[in-house]
Chain A
């Protein structure tokens, strides 16, 4: 079995380097090598990345840089298909892109990659990163529990706390059998809440083994994305893990869009 790899696409911009500290920590946790990919649209990257950055980049010292020519998203996905990385860690925007939402390259990779993708906000720069607190929004469905296995494993390997957040969705509950959402009746809170929390985590752990993880369950209500962002700030979350069904057009992925737009920490997107 080949060594696990984390693919880190860089476009030569300074802001893209924000992915590096995150990728390095994740690589350490997963015992995975970093595969740096630089895609030039018109010229072979050659001397490439370092010269394009126009300065010394100690973060890249000792790393092999894979240089390709072509459309970035196409080449990233092509390399991903070749090396089958455990994760792709990349900046939310390319150098040419602005705005709060992920850029075109990141969106294409998110949509088509067969592995989980970690998007790093460009604003965090080269600040060192650590993984102590992982926040996982959970809609209560078994499908989401299954999707979160990689996140749970990551948190366990990092000895991080897993904060599972269930936000009451006033629009209704999922129809999937085995879903557990906010209880409809809370006869006596002194009994119902401990029972509900236990049941929620039991259902999660029966599908997504939690091992020796330190897990905390939080129930919130209100706008789902806003609540997740609020709790993420409050708890100094290092990583938010989102399970995504792959639908982007409205009204789908409203929560994910809100979090991608505003989160200050890296976001790991796991496809369902």
Chain B
């Protein structure tokens, strides 16, 4: 069932509907004015700072910075992360290492600190300019002596040159002349060495300019502060440029960063211009346009913006963590979110970035093999949570705020991740036709994950293969036997591995010889994969058309979720862990997830029956849940239900008062939101030799259009109102 948020969802349109009203003439660029491309936050609510820092974060896949206030506040948590740079403290799991805050700039005017919590804020506005990848801020402040100061900020992480971060700040005294003291000193080291030996060097360069006189003001340097006279009505601009390099990408990160920033500071306007062009070009490929629903349009662009901000096609040894580079929660760890929820967006609109993501899985295959071996199995089992090297980094317990010590079993039992990675690899290859990837990396992942399932499944007295003691996507039920999703995806993994083995034998026999020798694949092994797949227990009931989510599920207690509406808390909090485990309430789609991924394998009546059975029993305790329900509902033709779930998914980050985004945006849910639009409402199907679509647009969507790449060719999908089915057109 759709679980509408009881908190008034008016927060979403309110945030989205404002438009910038002023010009940023003294900065090298101006905000986009089209309200469908921007998010605007007016005013200042201290308690929301962490949320806003996440939502308005900037990033380019190499580095990401939270949208903290330059001068800070009691709740500011500025942080910059570099993808793949993790640190670990003794006894704890690795986490993304925060870099020194490069955005800090505080001003004292005539002895009065310029702060939001002092004096009067005449105007305060923050803008996330998704089209240009820029964070803007405008602030007019009146101090207790009546001095009015205007401050404007532009901040970006260059998409054209991923090592560069830029911040331009203007200060204009509107009704006074007076002395300002500006402190922009870094509060941390410019060279950091993480626990695993990675060196990160940050080189900083800055300059100050009087925009009227076109020269630097005569300044007095006191410690790290610059002090000079502000003249009435004249604007002073502070440009700061930062170059970041690590020992992961160069042998001399410090020197490389220094040279890089020295070059770049000479042409700030040029750097910003190239960055804007890079974003515009990116949007040309990745935008998804909606007519008739501005809120949905902006929510989708918000999703696309953050997905693009987290991706870097130039580094195939990093992936995208659950919160991208926008926050510390989840420690930068990579989950199935990337392979199942985010990857389709990249495969279809940014295949170079998708390639990097699937290659991350290839580079971490050794750790997956080690995990499988540690558990006593063959092949490869990917980590439920992985960091830079792919080792299992799931914490083993947590102390819940109920004071209960909760043992975390996902690192051992949520083994469907292996098939999820394989599914992402196969999807990538299907859509791109990247045979080189398949032969050099993808096939190895498919074979090794299949090997794991072949050794993990046990043939029992009924002659069927069973997998016991696992957790499916529904994490409310732990240590279950024959989870339908796990078994179904394992079966798929085994079958596809066999098909790919046959394909390589036939088309690239020499490569097969080398690969099979290297992996020790005996000639009969692929056939054994097929046999295991054929005899897998699936929990499918021919009579009802239902999959039983796991052994014994149908005998659990029925609890009517409708009786808890409205609610704002997860069902396991309301009922307790023990009760929820004895009930049929599920955390997120499990069987429905299987239906969603293996859509073409399921007869229409089976899809429908399972959705209708499990959807009312889903408590949506996961942020990944609403999008999948929206996607499946749309494909089943229940557009109204799909639209409600789409809205719920869009609100996960964007609705104010939720607090969910304080530790970073939900990258998986954002990927899911895009899938609802493209694969659900747009109805794009990518399983055959030629892409097709069977659209199911919401009533108020007049049209949906997008470009996508299929087998190295760009296609244009345009769905006018009323369209039911047609082939996607080739785009020039």
Q: Which residues on A are within 8 Å of B, measured CB to CB?
A: 142, 145, 166, 168-197, 199, 202-203, 205-207, 217-221
Contacts and interface: CB of A to CB of B under 8 A. Distances in A.
B403 A199 contact: no
A49 B667 CA distance: 69
Given A168-B574, A202-B75, A207 B47 contact: yes
Given A189-B400, A189-B406, A199 B394 contact: no
Nearest to B407: A190
B479 to A, nearest CB: 16
A207 B566 CA distance: 29
A183 B569 CA distance: 6
Contacts of A188: 322, 330, 335, 385, 410
B568 A184 contact: yes
Contact of A173 (B7, B385, B576, B625): B7
A197 B398 CA distance: 12
Ranked nearest first, the 8 interchain pairs of A and B with the lowest CB-CB distance are: A178-B47, A219-B401, A182-B569, A206-B75, A206-B74, A180-B659, A185-B623, A195-B329
Given A186-B572, A188-B330, A206 B47 contact: yes
B8 interface: yes
A87 to B, nearest CB: 27
A168 B47 contact: no
B466 to A, nearest CB: 27
A200 B495 CA distance: 48
Q: Which of B48, B75, B398, B657 has the most A CB atoms < 10 Å from its CB?
A: B657
B17 to A, nearest CB: 16
A181 B49 CA distance: 16
Contact of B662 (A171, A176, A186, A195): A195
B90 to A, nearest CB: 18
A199 B50 contact: yes
A182 B568 contact: yes
Interface string B307-348: 000000000000000100000111101010000000000000
Contacts of B395: 190-191
A142 B574 contact: no
Interface in B381-440: 385, 394-395, 397-403, 406, 408, 410
Contacts of A202: 50, 75, 77
A186 B656 contact: no
22 contacts: A169-B568, A172-B568, A178-B48, A180-B662, A184-B658, A186-B570, A187-B322, A187-B624, A187-B666, A188-B410, A190-B395, A190-B398, A192-B329, A193-B400, A193-B401, A195-B329, A196-B401, A202-B75, A203-B50, A206-B49, A206-B74, A221-B574
Most chain A C-beta atoms within 10 Å of own C-beta, residue among B73, B74, B335, B570: B570
Contacts of A206: 46-47, 49, 73-75
A193 to B, nearest CB: 5
B652 interface: yes
Interface string B22-49: 0000000000000000000000011111
B5 interface: yes
B663 interface: yes
B47 A203 contact: yes
Contact of B46 (A176, A178, A190, A191): A178
Contact of A193 (B6, B328, B398): B398
Contacts of A199: 50, 659, 662-663
A163 B427 CA distance: 51
Contacts of A142: 45-47
Nearest to B575: A221
B187 to A, nearest CB: 19
A227 to B, nearest CB: 11
A184 B5 contact: yes
Contacts of A172: 6-7, 566-568
B233 interface: no
Contacts of B620: 185
Contact of B660 (A170, A176, A183, A221): A183
Contacts of A207: 46-47, 74
Contacts of B394: 190
A37 B6 CA distance: 49
B622 interface: yes
B75 A203 contact: yes
Contacts of A203: 47, 50, 75
Interface string B45-67: 11111100000000000000000
Contacts of B410: 188, 190
A32 B410 CA distance: 55
B322 to A, nearest CB: 7
Contacts of A191: 322, 329-331, 333, 395
B145 interface: no
Interface string B624-638: 110000000000000
B564 interface: yes
Which interface residue of A142, A186, A191 has the most chain B CB atoms within 10 A?
Answer: A191
A173 B656 contact: no
Contacts of B5: 184
Interface in B600-652: 620-625, 652
B570 A185 contact: yes
A187 B385 CA distance: 13
Nearest to B655: A184
B222 interface: no
A191 B7 CA distance: 24
Contacts of A176: 657
A178 B568 contact: no
Contacts of B621: 185-186
A74 B178 CA distance: 55
A218 B402 contact: yes
B47 A180 contact: yes
Nearest to B5: A184
B662 A173 contact: no
A17 B188 CA distance: 57
B401 A197 contact: yes
A207 to B, nearest CB: 7
B650 to A, nearest CB: 14
Contacts of B564: 170
